[in-house]
Amino acid sequence: MSFTSKSSLIALVCSGLLVACEPQSSSVQSPVELEPIKLYQGQSLQPWQLVIKSHQEEQLVSAELTQLADGLVSIKRVDKEGQQDALLLNFKDSWSSGVYLKNGSVDLSQYVAQGTVEFDLKVDAIQQGKVDLLVACESNCKHAYRLREWAQEHEGQGWQHLAIPLRCLVDNSANLTQVSQPFNLSTGGKGQVALANVLIKANGNANMPCHSAMELATTPDVLNEYWSVDWWMTRHEQKLAQANLGEAQLVMIGDSITHGWENDGKAVWDEHFGDINTLNLGYGGDRTENVLWRLQHGELGKTEPKLVVMMIGTNNTGHRMDSPEAIVAGVDKILHELKQQVPKAKVLLLAIFPRDAKPDSLARINNSQATALIQQLAKEQGLLFADFNADFLSEDGTLTTQMMPDLLHPKAKGYEIWAQQLTPFIEQYIRQSGQ
């Protein structure tokens, strides 16, 4: 089944905070006066150096063919319009790979308003991979411009010129005076692309869209990731069949953390809630827009649950660093569907679980800010809300690998904590209300 849809095109994104696509103050020097910044024109230009990377290692590009020792990523100089004036990037078996420029610093503060990051790209194979564009600076350059859908559509179609608005990649509050990685083509999975003619223009003619996080988080869409296409729709069809039995008393909605009740948390679930007919609508990797798509495509079926428990949003943060406001807008859209489809159910919203080791990580902070807005939304709509995140953390707020080995997904110990906190709600709204 194809995962390309009109809504998928929205994933060609400026996935920043809500203000990310607004131009900066007119007091900034007119970008028309600024010369283009050439980064790679047949070769990387001083002081920049090309680097290839996998999730395990990285290496400077210094020869006609450069390959990582782990064999996961290689880059070769190839011909486009002249001799060896382009780069052929091959990557496989790595969730984080790519090519980027480093060892320099450039001031892009006057380029944001009308600036574009431009390059030529030829997509040879991408169905089993991903490609994103990023810019790295001291702070608030954390937004990945997603190119997977565009790449899928242009696979095998030869060289294409891309001009992406610079404002899609950074937040208005970003410090752009010393940008250390003005071009980072981030890949993953397995694929092959060719790259040439990288530059940044002050007043470019963009040919790629720049959508806000708000639009992305609230527009229903399937999950189109190279690691999800083999199972996501199959799981959806299985859940449709289960939902149409109309037997579920409890519905759990979420992402991989909720999905995990069926694997890492299964023994804990069976011990505490094995008697409860449950519809688990947790899907690994899902963001708010994916949950919204699933509910609008029948996943609640004929169910009339007594209780719905939902936690969603950490992938909005982890994949795109959506703003807290965008996340809660997505949650609000989902709640509207629940009100329409299961109006008699009690709805329990959960705080987004902590992630990353330290409390000052950008992702942890973003989730915490989103949680505060979700709690306010629950209060405004008369819904249940629970926040037991402190139970996962050390006294100083540290999240340990003993609790969550990858600092995101709980193991049995974490699911036991969740079960203890969930028990009173199940007792009150399911068990005591009659089976």
Q: Which residues of 346-358 are buried (b: 16+ CB within 10 A; e: fewer)?
A: bbbbbbbbbbbbe
| pLDDT tens-digit series, residues 325-381 | 999 999 999 999 999 999 999 999 999 999 999 999 999 999 999 999 999 999 999
Beta strands in 283-358 (DSSP E): 307-311, 346-350
Most confident of 55-59, 135-139, 382-386: 382-386
Contact between 20 and 112 under an 8 Å Cβ cutoff? The reply is: no
Q: Report the predicted TM-score, pTM, of the whole model to 2 decimal places.
A: 0.86
> What are phi and psi for residue 383, nearest 5 degrees?
-105, 165
Q: Where are the alpha helices (DSSP H) in 187-317?
A: 213-218, 232-243, 256-259, 266-273, 288-296, 314-315
Which range has the worst mean pLDDT, 9-13, 36-40, 230-234? Answer: 9-13
| pLDDT tens-digit series, residues 382-395 | 999 999 999 999 99
Q: What ranges do the domains of the chain cover?
A: 11-211, 215-431
Mean pLDDT computed over 302-326: 95
Indicate the fold that domain 11-211 takes in CATH: Jelly Rolls (2.60.120)
SS3 246: coil
Indicate the fold that domain 215-431 takes in CATH: Rossmann fold (3.40.50)
Q: Do the first three CATH levels of 11-211 and 215-431 match, i.e. the same topology?
A: no
Contact between 233 and 383 under an 8 Å Cβ cutoff? The reply is: no
Task: Locate 166 and state its tokens.
Answer: 């610079």
